[in-house]
Chains A and B, each alone.
Chain A
Amino acid sequence: MNKTFLTALLVVTAVLMVGAGAADAEPMYLAKQYARCTSCHYSPGGGGLLTPYGRGLSQEFSTTGTRGASGGNAQTAEAATGESGFLWGALGDRLGPLNLGVDIRPSHLSFSFPGGSSGMNLLMNMDALAAYHSGVWTVYGEVGRRPTISGGGVYSYEYWAEAQSESGWGVRFGRFLPPYGVRFSDHTDYNRSYLGFDKYDQVLGVEVSHSTDKRLIQITAAPGGADAILNAQANTPSSRAFTTTGRVQFDLTPKTAIVVSGLYRDQSQTDVRNGAAGAAFGFAPVARLSIWTEADSRMRSGSNGRSFVLVNETSFEAVRGVWLKFSPQVRTASAVNGQTRLLFEADVLPRTHVNIDASFYRDRDGTTKIVTHTSLVQLHLYL
């Protein structure tokens, strides 16, 4: 393979690796008995703006957290105040049911491959997030930078409104990432990027959900009114297609969950008709350890046939606020020999609003036998 082409390919891949969405979902908190995303996030699918409760927990889970001090009357508190609040609580409770957040991630990315290496400093995210919650209604939106590769400028890649009844029924409409499988925080994980649930793969659609103590059902239908913004420009082929997903989560215990998912996408200008089915199992055998494993089968019309994805994420809280993760990943395909990845990650949460994340990826392409090493260090400021 031409070295210049290989370098360019790796640079593009590396750039696409960064730019994760705001305040990613963290399935590792199953170890803390949080099996549902909605405990801490507005989005039923996880990720994005934290709820006041999620903000409160971010302080509790940090290395310099509150150590059990309630900091007020738990029964009447409605908004995260003090350090865990928006802008360190500078606005007090003046925003009422409006919750705001700012997500900024300066990062350094370096990668090496046979015969070369490179690195770059990046400002991955600069997003503003808002949610208005009143009664059964939540209105949500995010505004950030559109990737340069897609034209740049300011762009809203997620916006929706949801009604959630006390009986557990919910309806959401707008643009959002359809729920499927386990939304690991790293959007480049094989079960996200290869199945079409990457950071910019939101769809414009409707989601119906039903939640009980032990089960969550989410069904999404999107007629094709939105697509991945990376190829959403007028003069490029559109990936718009009818998309539907189904996801069922069974909480066997507060620390054990099974997730079963299905996906169907109709043919678009950029892809053939395809679908996926998968199952995930997560459990926390001890208080500081969570283990998630997801296996998916992807079906495609035509010669590419069937491929499989297997992702494990094992997270261990070494000391309070310091998580170590190990994630082996495998992707197979009929047309190529597939890919393997070993991901090592250290996630340090020294204070509320400040995360430091260091990741090391070892990727091996089964066809070219090329092994690449990528290091990513992020300072995650979540104001």
Chain B
Amino acid sequence: MKRSTIALWIAVVAAPLSALGQQAQLRVDSGQIRVTCPMTVGGSFEAKTSALNGSLALASSSSATYGGELSVDLRTLDTGIELRDDHLRNEYLEVGKGEGFATAVLSDISLGNVDPGSVQGRAAFTGMLLLHGVKKPIAGQADIKRSAGAIRVDAGFPVKLADFGIAKPQYLGVGVKNEVAVKVSLIVRSESAQTSSR
């Protein structure tokens, strides 16, 4: 392999690999949220959306703590049944009440005292979730994979509906249990990488 080719390979791969550890802003390139809602009669259903946006930037050089935020448009949550969508959005999440209700926002994300420049694989994380107008801390597990030009994150965390002031979902005798599971899959790219790829 020619020396110039090797140099190019290093430039392409190494830049995003170190993105989590630099001041560069990471912007969501694509993502999906899946919320698994266990039902009181057994089984569960899933609400999902791809309306995930936002950007993150390293807030500390000594730990993997990020400023910025990730936001989800809750008006786009889809369960596959219109009536269930209507109840979910309007009766329980009350998306019509305003900005703090129409979107869920995850901020103050921290992976703890790990090297932000090299963290990958499974890692615990914490953050603050604004949902239904209530901001509460959340904690979960993330799986971080780095590849050329991008970082893929698959994260999950539980949410207790009562903690966020969401009424107990119930319709004609069938309800959703208090704790739902949120799974986030997203691909982030550094702003510079995004710009150069356009």
Q: Which residues of B contact A34 (CB under 8 A)?
A: 43, 45
- Decide: B42 and A254 in contact? CB cutoff 8 A: no
Tell whether, in the assembled complex, residue B39 and residue A74 are in contact, meaning their CB atoms are under 8 Å apart.
no
- Encoded as 1 (CB less than 8 Å from any B CB) or 0, chain A from 63 to 88 comes to 00011111001110111100000000
| CA of A168 to CA of B42, assembled, Å | 8
The verdict on A144 contacting chain B, using a C-beta distance below 8 Å, is no
Would you call B79 an interface residue if the criterion is a C-beta within 8 Å of the partner chain's C-beta atoms? yes
B185 within 8 A of A: no
Docked-complex contact B44 and A213, CB < 8 angstroms: yes
**One of A32, A70, A254 near B44 (C-beta < 8 A):** A254
Alpha-carbon gap, A53 to B177, bound state (A): 16
A207 beta carbon closer than 8 Å to chain B = no
Interface string of B93-123 (1 = CB under 8 A from A): 0000000000000000000000000000000
Determine how close the nearest CB of chain A comes to the CB of B185; give it in whole angstroms: 14
Which B residues touch A77, using CB under 8 A?
Answer: 171-172
Complex CA–CA separation, A66 to B172 (angstroms) = 16
List of B residues within 8 angstroms of A68 by Cβ: 82-83, 85-86
CB distance from B39 to the nearest CB of A (A): 7
**A-B interface pairs (CB < 8 A), number:** 95
A60 to chain B, nearest CB (A): 5
Known A36-B41, A39-B174, A78-B172; contact A254-B87, beta-carbon cutoff 8 A: no
CB nearest to B79 among chain A residues? A33
B38 at interface, CB cutoff 8 A: yes
Which residues in A have their C-beta under 8 angstroms from that of B82? 60, 66-68
- Which residues in window 150-194 of B have CB below 8 A to A? 167-174, 177
Which of B41, B43, B81, B86 touches A70 (beta carbons < 8 Å)? B86
Q: Is the CB of A213 within 8 A of B38?
A: yes
Please indicate the chain B residues that have their CB under 8 angstroms from the CB of A33 in the complex: 44-46, 79-81
**A51 touching B172 in the complex, CB below 8 Å, given contacts A33-B79, A33-B80, A75-B167:** yes
Distance in Å: Cβ of B5 to nearest Cβ of chain A: 42
Interface size on B, residues (CB 8 A): 28
With A and B bound together, what is the CA distance between A35 and B82 in angstroms? 18
Q: Which residues of the partner chain B approach A299 to less than 8 Å between Cβ atoms?
A: none
Report yes or no: B46 in contact with A254, Cβ–Cβ below 8 A: yes
A342 within 8 Å of B (CB atoms): no
Q: Which of A75, A211, A212 contacts B170 (CB 8 A)?
A: A75
Q: Is A216 on the interface with B (CB-CB < 8 A)?
A: yes
With A32-B81, A60-B83, A68-B86 in contact, do A254 and B173 touch (Cβ < 8 Å)? no
Residue A287 interfacial (CB < 8 Å): yes
B91 at the interface (CB under 8 A from A): yes
**B interface: dominant SS:** mixed
The A-contacting residues of B in range 44-94, CB under 8 angstroms, are 44-46, 79-83, 85-87, 90-91
- Cβ contact within 8 Å between B171 and A74: yes
A150 located at the interface, meaning its Cβ lies under 8 Å from any Cβ of chain B in the complex: no
Closest Cβ of chain A: how far from B21's Cβ, in Å? 35
Mask for A167-204, Cβ within 8 A of B = 1, else 0? 01000000000000000000000000000000000000
Are the C-beta atoms of B43 and A254 separated by less than 8 Å?
yes
In the complex, whether A56 has a CB less than 8 A from a CB of chain B is: yes
Q: Considering only CB atoms, which chain A residue lies closest to B85 in the complex?
A: A68
Chain B, range 5-42, C-beta contacts under 8 Å to A: 36, 38-39, 41-42
Which residues of A in the span 21-80 have a Cβ within 8 Å of any Cβ on B? Answer: 31-36, 38-39, 51-53, 55-57, 60, 66-70, 73-75, 77-80
Nearest CB in chain A to that of B37: its residue: A254
* Given A32-B80, A68-B83, A68-B86, also A51-B173 (CB < 8 A): yes
CA distance A69 to B174 in the complex (A): 18
Q: Assess whether A251 is interfacial by the CB under 8 Å rule.
A: yes
| Chain A residues, Cβ within 8 Å of B171 | 53, 56, 74-75, 77
B45 with A254: CB separation less than 8 A:
yes
Give the distance in Å from the alpha carbon of A79 to the alpha carbon of B41 in the complex: 16
Residues of A within 8 A of B38 (CB): 213
Answer whether residue A301 sits at the interface, using C-beta atoms and an 8 A cutoff: no
The residue that A36 contacts in the complex, of B42, B80, B83, B85, with Cβ under 8 A, is B42
- A36-B42, A254-B44 known; A70+B87 contact, CB < 8 A: yes
Once the chains are docked, how many angstroms separate the CA of A214 from the CA of B37?
11
Chain A positions within 8 Å of B81 at CB level: 32-33, 57, 60
Cα A56 to Cα B84 with chains together (Å): 11
A253 at interface by CB-CB < 8 Å: yes
Q: Is the CB of B83 within 8 A of A213?
A: no
CA separation between A141 and B131, bound complex, in Å? Answer: 45
Give B92 Cβ to nearest chain A Cβ, in Å: 8
**Interfacial residues, chain A to chain B (CB-CB below 8 A):** 31-36, 38-39, 51-53, 55-57, 60, 66-70, 73-75, 77-80, 133, 168, 211-214, 216, 251, 253-255, 287
Residues of B at the A interface (CB closer than 8 Å) are 36, 38-39, 41-46, 79-83, 85-87, 90-91, 167-174, 177
Q: List 20 A-B contacts (CB under 8 A).
A: A34-B45, A36-B39, A39-B39, A53-B171, A53-B172, A56-B172, A57-B81, A68-B85, A68-B86, A69-B83, A70-B86, A73-B91, A78-B172, A79-B172, A133-B173, A213-B39, A213-B44, A213-B177, A254-B36, A287-B80
The 5 closest A-B pairs by CB, nearest first: A68-B82, A213-B38, A211-B42, A33-B45, A36-B43
